[in-house]
A = this chain, B = another copy of it.
Amino acid sequence: MPRKKTFESTLMQLEEIVRELESGTLTLEESIKKFETGMACSKYCLQTLDKTEKKITLLMKDSQGDLVEEPFNHES
């Protein structure tokens, strides 16, 4: 993939695929290919969302935890 795969672009791709599939203009072979890609997109998105959810939950749990001396190292 040339450009970075982001959640949003993937989700958009998925949406596009769904729309194309629903349009009924695709050949069966195309449909299958699209479907395959759509499934991958869906999988990626869901996995990304799952990871994100876990991360946020962790962060929120962490914020009620111990002192963090230097929390801004990701900005450096």
With contacts A27-B7, A39-B59, A47-B66 known, is A52 near B32, CB below 8 A?
yes
- Within the assembled complex, what's the spacing in Å between the Cα atoms of A36 and B32? 28
Give how many copies assemble into the complex.
6
Across-interface contacts of A27 in B (CB, < 8 A):
6-8
Q: B28, A8: Cβ atoms under 8 Å?
A: yes
- Within the assembled complex, what's the spacing in Å between the Cα atoms of A70 and B75? 27
Q: A47, B67: Cβ atoms under 8 Å?
A: yes
Across-interface contacts of A52 in B (CB, < 8 A):
28, 32
Q: B37, A72: Cβ atoms under 8 Å?
A: yes
With contacts A6-B27, A7-B28, A48-B28 known, is A37 near B74, CB below 8 A?
yes
